[in-house]
Structure 1
Amino acid sequence: MEKVYKDLARHLDNTPGGFPPTESGVELRILKQLFTPEQAQLALNLVMMPEPVEAIALRVGKPAETILPMLIEMGEKGLILHIRKPDGDTFMLLQFVVGIWEYQVDRLTQQLIKDFNEYVPYLMKAQEAHKTQQLRVVPVEKSINTQLNIMDHEHLENLVRSQSKILVAPCICRREHTMVGKGCGKMEESCLVFGGGAYIYESRGIGRTITADEAMDIVRKGAAQGLVAQPSNSVKPMNICLCCDCCCQILSNIKKTPSPARIVNSNFQASVDTDQCTGCQACEEICPMDAIAVTDGLAQVNKERCIGCGLCVTVCEFDAMSLADKQEMERWDPPRTLVDTYMKIAQEKGLF
């Protein structure tokens, strides 16, 4: 029984998101809580490409009608991706993060949360090892100025209003922290999911469908609460997460590093007009990366820590804070689609 979970862990580690081994074996404890041995064995026969049940059945060596009910059940539990189409359903392996974990928002237990929080540092260290990240940071709308060299895919409102279907789902990070008594009190309903992803969430009863206007209201409320906008790292994102630096497993772990700006894929950084700065500390208090410090009555930005979210600009009443473009050599051009993003990460990890 132990072997199938070790095999599945290696299988998931060969996905772009990774699933690195640990000395404690916490990653195996997580898998045992999510997968039965039979489900784990079946997941070993899936790849990160949608396939009909007949193709999977050939690899498994069992009739399609035998494994189909289990695949459907695994899809309903968010352990694999089940795509329903008029011309036939398909099934696909999910990576652990972003993927399996986010679909567990309604299946969390105290033990699963405990084990996941123990495992996150290992997971983040593996993800930080490559240049292309799964998420990127775009500035909040209120922080954008006419001098910025900003592209359409860096405009939050453009990203939202260009979507044909929008769903808002609970943030699993804030939910899990709330469940263990460490919640921050910021809004939980804050993960925007688009297009095909929205239909999949809807089919599983996670979240609710909303209009573009409702989505923008959530984005503005998030900015007011100091949440960082993180779309999936592609020109055409599948989702936008509104993240806090206390509960978000990605931001909170990046914050612990000495140079968050080197990890986060972003094209902007904050700048201070010292003639306008009054040293009020509003920017210092809202900065999610501790990138701003007020010294001798003036705000100063640590460029190694600033991720260009623009939250400091939204709270400055004296027009002293603004966003500036990174140097050309530091600019980030996201892949066109999420598939391209994962292919790029896989190449950087040497999986090809």
Structure 2
Amino acid sequence: MEDVYKKLAVQLDNTPGGFPETESGVELRILKRLFTPEEAELTLSLVMMPESVEVIAQRASKAPEDILPLLIEMGQKGLIIHVNRNGQDVFMFAQFVVGIWEYQVNRLTPELIKDFNEYVPHLMKTLERTKTQQLRVVPVTKSITTQLNIMDHEHLEKLIKTQSKILVAPCICRREHAMVGKGCGKMEEACLIFGSGAYIYESRGIGRTITQDEALEIVRKGVKQGLVPQPSNSVKPINICLCCDCCCQILSNIKKTEAPAKIVNSNYQAKVDQDQCTGCQMCEDICPMDAIEMNDTLVATVNMDRCIGCGLCVTVCEFDAIALHDKVATERWEPPQTIVDTYMNIAKEKGLF
């Protein structure tokens, strides 16, 4: 029984998101909370490409009719990905983050939350190993000026207006913090899921379908609360997360590093016009990465190693003293075209093939 979980952990670690081994074995405890031994065994026969039950059954040495109900149930639990294409059920292996964990938003328990929070620092080490990240940061709309060299895939509102199917789901990070008495009180409905991903969430009873206008209003509300927009790291994103620096497992752990700007994929950074700055400290208060502080003369200064270019500081400055600027050409980030390309890049950078 222990062996099947170890094999599953290795298979998860060989995905772009990773699933590293620990001395404490917390990663195995997480898998045991999520998967029965039978589910774990069957998951080992899946790959990260959608396949029919007949193909999976042949690999698993099982009869298709014997494993189909279990595969459907595992899809409902968010342990694997299950979609129906042209009337045919297909299934694929899911990585742990972003993937299995986010699908557990309605299945959280205090024990699972405790184990996950113990495991997060180990997952973050995997994140820091690659230049390509699963998410990127785009500036909030109010911080955009005509001087910025901004592309459509970096424009928050344009990203939303190109979507035909949008679902809003609860933020698993804020939900799990709230469940253990550590919530920040910021909006929970803050994850926008697009296209096929929205249909997958909908089929599992997670979130609700919304219009473009409703999505834009959620974004505006999130920005007022100081949430950072993080789309999936591709020209054609499959989601946009609105993240806080206190609960978001990615942002909060990046914040603990000395140079968040070197980890986050972003094309902009804030600069201060010292002649205009009044030292009101509003920008310092809202900065999610503690990138802004007051110097001896009470003028805001930006630590470029920490600024991730979200533009929240610009939204609270009443004196036009701070603005976003393009990074130099050699530091600009061009996201892959699709999320599949993103995962391929991460896999190559990790040496998985």
TM class by smaller structure = over 0.9
Higher alpha-carbon deviation: 86-95 or 243-252: 86-95
For 1:321 and 1:43, locate their aligned partners in 2 and report how far apart those are by CA, in whole Å.
Answer: 51
More displaced stretch, 12-21 vs 77-86 = 77-86
Instruction: Tell me the alpha carbon deviations over residues 47-106 of structure 1, each in whole angstroms, 9 at most, x when there is no partner.
Output: 111001111011000111111111000000000000112241110000000000000000
Whichever residue aligns with residue 48 of structure 2, its letter is M
Alignment of 1:47-86 (within 5 A): 47-86=47-86
Is residue 188 of structure 2 the alignment partner of residue 188 of structure 1? yes
- Superposition misfits of 4+ residues, deviation over 4 angstroms: none
Distance of 2:188 and 2:283 partners within structure 1:
24
Q: Which residue in the other structure is 1:257 paired with?
A: 257
Residues 42-191 of structure 1: matches in 2 within 5 Å? 42-191=42-191
Q: CA RMSD of the aligned region, Å?
A: 0.5
> Is structure 2 residue 348 aligned with structure 1 residue 347?
yes
The equivalent of 1:302 in structure 2 is 303
The 2-side partners of 1:187 and 1:109 are apart by 20
Instruction: Give distance in 2, aligned partners of 1:297 and 1:265.
Output: 30
Distance in structure 2 (CA, Å) of the matches to 1:109 and 1:203: 22
Q: Describe how 1:225-244 pairs up with structure 2 within 5 A.
A: 225-244=225-244
- 1:6-59: CA deviations, max 9, x gaps? 000000000000000000000000000000000000111111110011110110
**Displacement, 1:166?**
0.4
* 3-state SS, counterpart of residue 112 of structure 2: helix
Aligned to 1:16: 16
TM-score of the pair, normalised by structure 2: 0.99
TM-score by length of 1: 1.00
SS at structure 1 position matched to 2:219: helix
Deviation at 1:349, TM superposition (A): 0.5
Whole-Å separation in 2 of the counterparts to 1:269 and 1:345: 24
Q: Distance in 1 between matches of 2:225 and 2:349?
A: 35
Shift of 1:266: 0.2
Rounded to whole Å, the distance in 1 between the matches of 2:259 and 2:43 is 37
- The yes-or-no answer on 1:36 pairing with 2:51 is no
- For 1:330, give the aligned amino acid: E
- In the alignment, the residues of structure 2 paired with residue 55 and residue 351 of structure 1 have an alpha-carbon distance, to the nearest angstrom, of 24
**Cα distance between partner residues in 1 of 2:282 and 2:212:** 30
Q: In structure 2, how many angstroms separate the alpha carbons of the residues matched to 1:239 and 1:209?
A: 13
Q: State the 1:190 CA deviation.
A: 0.5
For 1:47, give the aligned amino acid.
Answer: V
Q: How far is the alpha carbon of 1:157 from its aligned partner?
A: 0.5
For 1:102, the aligned partner's letter is: E
Distance across 1 between alignment mates of 2:5 and 2:207: 30
Secondary structure in 2 aligned to 1:7? helix
Distance (whole Å) between structure 1 residues aligned to residue 287 and residue 349 of structure 2: 30
- Alignment-mate amino acid for residue 219 of structure 2: V
Partner SS for 1:84? strand
CA deviations 1:270-327 (Å, max 9, x no partner) are 0101111001000000000000001121000000000000000000010001000000
AA matched with 2:316: V
